[in-house]
Amino acid sequence: MKVLQDGLNQIIENLRETYGESGPGVYTKPSKKCAYNRCDGSGFILFLDENKNSAMRECNCFKQKEVIIKLKSAKVPEKFLNCTVADFSLDLYEEEEREVAKSAKHIASKFVQNYEMCKERGKGLYFYSQITGSGKSRLAISIGNDLVKRLNISFLYIPSSNAIDELKETFGDKSEHTMLQVLDVYKKVELLIIDDLGVENNSDWSEGIFTQILEERMNSRKLTIITSNIKIEELSHIYKRGRIKSRIDYMTFPIDMPEEDIREKESIQKNKDIFNDLFNN
């Protein structure tokens, strides 16, 4: 923080030398780097206050930068950074599956609206479809994105296989973190999104890890959103001890997703949109 303040003080001093003590009302020159064209892209506007002292205030784009930083720290894949529940498209689904998608989208929207109530009750969501590419990950991450913008919460997105890999990486001497430190993040982050539960190479060790994470989050009423190709009632076929199924049963509402892979349609639509932007305007 001191480094930032020293840097800002130096900027103010440089501007004083350029404009003098009286200076213009606002020092900062608007730039296209700012989404609102109000600051120079730094997120701050330097100006003279009523006593003609140099002062600083946040630009509207500062909040935007905070959101982007928060989403990147949540490990959200780049292609999902701007996704919201509202723009989750139902048009890509065939009519038969569209109603299922519509219901899932409605529940996702209500979850965001009633987040505090869900938090009080310790209830997250479990998105299920047997087929891959149905939009489970996209909708789950959209919920996290919306909550960051709406309530400024912290969340973490992690595919189940990556979670296990990250923990295994702590075993080496060169690791910057211990296994307990990484586990602590999974256990204590306000909202945890576990993607593709059940696809990781399962073992007694990995089952024990997920049991620990879910147990801690259940007891502290930390919300968890899970996506999977496995129905909750079938989780005991994968996790033989049965403890993961019982905890997920307690912690989440099961939400059906369409049994339709829309990835090819998404790619075609995206290509059309890009082509129109580039060549038809």
Q: Give pLDDT tens digits along the chain (281 positions).
A: 455 555 555 655 555 454 444 444 555 677 777 766 777 777 777 776 667 677 777 777 666 566 556 656 678 898 999 999 999 999 999 999 999 999 999 999 999 999 999 999 999 999 999 999 999 999 999 999 999 999 989 899 999 998 888 888 888 777 777 888 889 889 999 999 999 999 887 788 999 999 999 999 999 999 999 999 999 999 999 998 889 999 999 999 999 999 999 998 888 888 888 888 888 86
CA dihedral 59, 64, 70, 73 (to 10 degrees): -100
3-state secondary structure of 14: helix
What pLDDT, on a 0 to 100 scale, did the predictor assign at position 5? 55
* Structural domains of the chain, ranges and CATH numbers in brackets: 2-64 (no CATH), 74-263 (3.40.50.300)
Strands 54-58 and 44-48: antiparallel
Are 192 and 224 a contacting pair, CB within 8 Å? yes
| CA 249 to chain CA centroid, nearest Å | 23
Dist. CA 34–CA 21, nearest whole Å:
26
What pLDDT, on a 0 to 100 scale, did the predictor assign at position 9? 58
The tokens describing 225, both together, are 């959103």
Dist. CA 256–CA 57, nearest whole Å:
46
The helices-and-strands tally (H runs, E runs) of the chain is 11, 7
Dist. CA 185–CA 75, nearest whole Å:
13
Dist. CA 135–CA 93, nearest whole Å:
10
Dist. CA 32–CA 28, nearest whole Å:
13
Are 168 and 206 a contacting pair, CB within 8 Å? no
| CA 105 to chain CA centroid, nearest Å | 17
3-state secondary structure of 35: coil
